[in-house]
Amino acid sequence: MYRRKVFYYETDQMGIVHHSNYIRWFEEARIDYMDQMGLGYDKMEEQGIISPVLSVEASYLRMLHFGDSVQIETWVKEYNGIKLTVGYEIVSDRTGKVHCKGVTRHCFLERTGRPLALKQSCPEIHNLFMKALEEHRKAKK
């Protein structure tokens, strides 16, 4: 779980978090989650693996304001060795409710831009994602 506080610069004139910031928070939480898995982006990039974002979806359910604190739950939602979908829920410490939920979809590429199948090229990384996916499935039951 990733925790953060809403900063003033992230709000609009009405004091409400601007929608673009939730996407940034997804990235912050995803990087933290991968670090917790033992698989930081720096480690992947050292091995010549890049993971661009293919798409982002966000559902804005409730407003957040300057000074609010949130927890961002992050998990591997789907993974097939070539593509990865990460799920997010942003929960307010004040309300205890989900204020935003979303997903990001990613693929894996070599630095040259060629698609990469992690199962064959980096089994240790593949196994970390499979373990995270299985943990999420078990937690849902």
Q: Which residues are catalytic?
A: 12
The Cα–Cα gap between 112 and 117 comes to 14
Nearest to 70 by CA among 17, 33, 20: 17
The Cα–Cα gap between 16 and 108 comes to 35
C-alpha dist (Å) from residue 80 to 20, 56, 83, 85, 107: 29, 18, 6, 9, 10
- β-pair partners for 94: none
Tokens at residue 121, please?
A: 């090229």
